[in-house]
């Protein structure tokens, strides 16, 4: 496959960025998208040029480090797939592919396709924890949890914090991420002591970081590589309302 790539290049956070065009030849359909970028970077280095900076780590769809907007879609065209697990067979010979970083006020560009996602860490620090001492792992049946709650908590806990929801949202909201972290703890017995302070503190941290408000457009759930459902935000809203009523 021969491809034309239009890649966002930005030397630093303070510099202006622009799209730069590269021609990439002999791309195997079996390559992952990141492997294709690796090949391009090798050629750039051999030519004495600056390689393209992009985030990656496990390359197994687990860590959430990879993230870029591919032809206007976070993580690219394949549903429920991270960038590192997207394969070039989903593109055609001669395609032009535009690659950009996550676009959000709360995710400032560091360099090229790398953005600062530490705002997510600060949201977690605001309340994404439990105070109950758990010790060693208990027997699975020692704390009864209704199956519906266990399933919903597991579904929310699948969030890898990649930021695709923010990049997809027209408001730049991180409410799906915040809701996933609130929900998976709030549905389990161990998370009950902080249930209502957690949701208030984490939503406050979300807003303080400059993320936009949620208007339920649903783009976040459509772009999420782990399929976190939109109803997770409904659970957050219910807990937030109950927390507000309890305070008054």
At 49 the pLDDT is 97
The predicted structure's pLDDT at residue 135? 74
pLDDT at 134: 67
- What percentage of the chain reaches a pLDDT higher than 70? 99
How far is Cα 36 from Cα 88, in angstroms, rounded to an integer? 8
Percent over 90 (pLDDT), the chain: 92
Q: By C-alpha distance, which of 15, 242, 227 is closest to 108?
A: 15
Asked whether residue 246 carries a pLDDT value surpassing 90, the answer given is: no
pLDDT given for residue 138 in this prediction:
72
Average pLDDT over residues 36-44: 98
Instruction: Output DSSP code: residue 7.
Output: E
Domains along the chain with CATH numbers: 3-110 (3.10.20.30), 117-247 (1.10.1060.10)
Q: What is the CA radius of gyration of the chain?
A: 20
pLDDT band at 178 (very low <50, low <70, confident <90, very high): very high
Residue range 14-20: average pLDDT? 97
Q: pLDDT tens for residues 115-148? A: 999 999 999 999 999 987 767 777 767 888 999 9
Burial classification of residue 84, based on how many CB atoms lie within 10 Å of its CB (0-12 exposed, 13-18 middle, 19 or more buried): buried
Inter-CA distances, 25 with 61, 143, 213, Å: 26, 57, 43
DSSP H helices, the chain, are 33-46, 118-127, 147-157, 164-168, 175-186, 195-208, 219-223, 231-247
d(CA 72, CA 118): 23
Average pLDDT, the chain: 95
Q: What angle do CA 48, 49, 55 make, to 5 degrees?
A: 130
Provide the H-helix boundaries in 47-194. Answer: 118-127, 147-157, 164-168, 175-186
Dihedral sign, Cα of residue 202, residue 203, residue 206, residue 208: negative
pLDDT at 107 over 90: yes
Position 23 confidence tier, pLDDT thresholds 50, 70, 90 = very high
The mean pLDDT of 73-97, rounded to a whole number, is 97
CA distances 104 to 172, 193, 210, Å, are: 6, 33, 9
Question: What confidence tens digit (pLDDT) does each residue in 62-74 have?
Answer: 999 999 999 999 9
Q: Does the pLDDT of residue 155 top 80, yes or no?
A: yes
User: Quick one: pLDDT band at residue 194, thresholds 50, 70, 90?
Assistant: very high
pLDDT of residue 93: 97
What mean pLDDT is predicted for residues 226-245? 96
Q: In whole angstroms, what is the distance from residue 33 CA to residue 67 CA?
A: 11
The predicted structure's pLDDT at residue 17 = 97
In 3-state terms, what secondary structure has residue 105?
coil
- Pairing label, strands 96-100, 3-9: parallel
pLDDT at 48 over 80: yes
């Amino acid at each position: 496959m021969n491809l034309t790539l239009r890649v966002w290049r930005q030397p630093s956070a303070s510099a202006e960025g622009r799209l730069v065009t590269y021609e990439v030849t002999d791309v195997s359909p079996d390559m992952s998208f990141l492997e294709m970028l690796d090949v391009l970077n090798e050629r750039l280095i051999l030519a004495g040029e600056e390689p393209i900076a992009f985030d990656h780590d496990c390359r197994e769809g687990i860590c959430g480090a990879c993230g870029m907007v591919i032809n206007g879609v976070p993580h690219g065209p394949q549903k429920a797939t991270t960038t590192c697990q997207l394969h070039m067979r989903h593109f055609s010979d001669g395609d032009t592919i535009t690659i950009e970083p996550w676009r959000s006020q709360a995710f400032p560009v560091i360099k090229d396709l790398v953005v600062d996602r530490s705002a997510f860490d600060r949201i977690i620090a605001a309340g994404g924890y439990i105070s109950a001492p758990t010790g060693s792992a208990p027997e699975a049946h020692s704390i009864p949890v209704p199956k519906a709650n266990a399933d919903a908590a597991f579904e929310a806990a699948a969030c890898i914090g990649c930021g695709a929801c923010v990049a997809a949202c027209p408001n730049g909201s991180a409410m799906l991420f915040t809701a996933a972290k609130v929900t998976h703890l709030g549905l389990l017995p161990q998370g009950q002591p902080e249930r209502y302070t957690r949701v208030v503190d984490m939503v406050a941290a979300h807003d303080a970081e400059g993320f936009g408000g949620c208007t339920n457009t649903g783009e976040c759930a459509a772009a999420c590589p782990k399929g976190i459902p939109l109803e997770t935000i409904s659970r957050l809203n219910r807990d937030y309302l109950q927390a507000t009523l309890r305070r008054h």
